[in-house]
Structure 1
Amino acid sequence: MDLGRLRALRELSLRRTMAAVAEALYVSPSAVSQQISLLEEEVGIKLIERRGRGVELTVAGQNLVRRADRIFAEIESARADIAELKQVIAGELRVAAFPSVAAALIPRTLRSLSGEHPQLAILFEEMEPEQSLAALRSWQTDVALIDDLNVPPGALDPSIETLPLMEDVFHAIVGPQHPLANIPTTSLDTLRGEPWVIDTASSNYTRMLTEACQAVGFSPRIIARCKGFEVTVALIREGCAIAILPGLRASHDLEDVWVCRLTPEIRRRIFVAFRKGEKRSPALQAFLTELKQQAKN
């Protein structure tokens, strides 16, 4: 049974449309459709059914995907076994991380690894936690950095293993002329009535922020929704708005703004996720060791 066709079916079970699978596998939708058709011919039974613009797996398709999960897990475990026996830290390791943790940790981690293990190539891609977890499940990345704000522990696939990396504390960010400038600590209640700018990359972040404000008796007056950090900081710097941002983001390349600690604290936990059976891989171990060291600095 062709592994490429099995992978296409597994992707389809996760993404539901040929177009989404094609984007994930870097092929055309027609190529994905052909892979599925060939697999159906190979096994002699229908594996998918059309549902509007998407597809649903038949019972046979679902059973085959469950078996495919085990097959791919065994393949990755075998690769880890071989790498462990060779004890060579080389090859490629694909890493996905969301912007704030990526900016704070990934460049230093890559720089250190390039000196210690020149035969190891780290291929990095910026992704939000939910995206990187989907990429990990579909073998599009090998490591995903996630947080419990966007990926609750109960939402993790049983085939995924996680290790705690660090905790991140949120801060209030204000412009240099704001009344809170030069004040080290403030409460969330003092931000009542302020104009807010929020990062729209994560709907969970918006929900967390809104619920935290509502818990102290107000709803944030959001005047700007930004996808880019540069615009967010520009609005804060010019006194147009304030924001609550992760400490990792607040500690990186911020000029002409003031960072206030919040009381009580709002925290999130950050984890490293990878597929079970791959922890013994020397390349993964080298990356985890260096990443943990950078997280402590």
Structure 2
Amino acid sequence: MDFFRLRTLRELSRRETMAAVADALGISSSAVSQQIAQLEDEVGIALVERRGRGVTLTPAGRRLVVHADRIFAFVEEAKTDIAELQNIVAGDLRIAAQPSAASSFIPAAMRQLANDHPHLGMVMTTMGPADGVAALRSWQADIVVADDISFDPHTLQGPFDTLFLCRDQLFVLLPAGHRLESEPVIELGQLRDEHWALDVASSAYSMAIRQACRDIGFEPVINGFSDSFEVVFALVEAGCSISVMPGLALRDFGGSLVVKPLSPAVYRNIYAITRHGEGRNPKIAAVLDALVPAVA
């Protein structure tokens, strides 16, 4: 069985449409169909069946994906063993990070790694934790940086390792001259009559904020949704909205906003997630070692 065709089937089991697989693998939808058809010829049994606009795997297809998972795991373990023996920090590495991490400490880590390991080619992509973990499962990413507001890393299904990086506090953002500007800390209930702007780069994060409001008896009125910190900052600065943002997103912010801690204090933990055992790989170990001082 062709290795790339197995990978194509494995992606199809997770993404369910030919177009999504094509985007993940960088090929056309017709090429995806061709790879699956050729794999079916190789094994002599149908592996997928069409359901409306999508496709679903047959029992044979699902069974083959289980074997493919093990095959890919063994291949990655072999590559890690060889890299460990070579003890060379080189090659390509892909890191998926949620925006607050991507805009704060990861650039510093990348700069340090470029100085220390010039043969390491590191590429960062911003994505939410769920998409990041999916990329990790499908070998589209080597390291994921995510928080535990969006998901609980200790409940990850599959062979993963987690490294704690930091604890990040959440803050209230107010425009200058706001009625609560003189308050040392702000309770969530004091914001019930405000208009809110929320960062939706991670939908789970914005849903967690809205749920926290519901838990104390009110539904926040949202007048701004954006996947850009700058847009949220602009809405608050103009006096249109207030917001709740993680400290990492504010670390290098020099705008004229009022920043206040929530009471009681709310925190999230930031983790680096890798496939199990790949921390032995010198290039992955080097990146993990660079992330810890960068986040400090």
TM range (shorter): over 0.9
Instruction: Name the residue aligned to 2:134.
Output: 134
Shift of 1:28: 0.2
Deviates more, 1:155-164 or 1:251-260: 155-164
Deviations 1:28-80 (CA, angstroms, capped at 9, x unpaired): 00000000000000000011111111111111111111111111111111111
Instruction: Name the residue aligned to 1:206.
Output: 206
CA distance in 2, matches of 1:293, 1:236: 32
- Is the 1:137–1:160 Cα contact (8 Å) retained in structure 2? no
Q: TM-score, normalised by structure 1?
A: 0.96
- The total of aligned residue pairs comes to 296
In the TM superposition, 1:150-229 aligns within 5 A as: 150-153=150-153, 156-181=156-181, 183-229=183-229
Instruction: Name the residue aligned to 1:259.
Output: 259
- For structure 1, list consecutive stretches of 5 or more residues without a partner in the other structure: none
- Is the 2:88–2:282 Cα contact (8 Å) retained in structure 1? yes
CA distance in 1, matches of 2:100, 2:10: 31
CA distance in 2, matches of 1:202, 1:282: 31
Shift of 1:105: 1.1
In the TM superposition, 1:243-282 aligns within 5 A as: 243-282=243-282
Deviates more, 1:283-292 or 1:118-127: 118-127
Shift of 1:247: 1.1
Instruction: Name the residue aligned to 2:59.
Output: 59
Aligned-partner SS, 2:268: strand
Deviates more, 1:236-245 or 1:121-130: 121-130
- Is the 1:120–1:283 Cα contact (8 Å) retained in structure 2? yes
Deviations 1:136-184 (CA, angstroms, capped at 9, x unpaired): 1111111111222222336523122222222211110011121233544
CA distance in 2, matches of 1:226, 1:120: 33
CA distance in 2, matches of 1:205, 1:145: 14
In the TM superposition, 1:28-177 aligns within 5 A as: 28-153=28-153, 156-177=156-177
CA distance in 2, matches of 1:280, 1:98: 24
Aligned-partner SS, 2:283: helix
- Is the 2:87–2:282 Cα contact (8 Å) retained in structure 1? yes
Task: State the identity %.
Answer: 46
Shift of 1:202: 2.6
Instruction: Name the residue aligned to 1:283.
Output: 283
Deviations 1:246-267 (CA, angstroms, capped at 9, x unpaired): 1111223241111100111222
Deviations 1:60-110 (CA, angstroms, capped at 9, x unpaired): 111111111111111111111111101111111111101101111111001
Shift of 1:207: 2.0
AA at the equivalent of 2:161: E
CA distance in 2, matches of 1:16, 1:137: 15
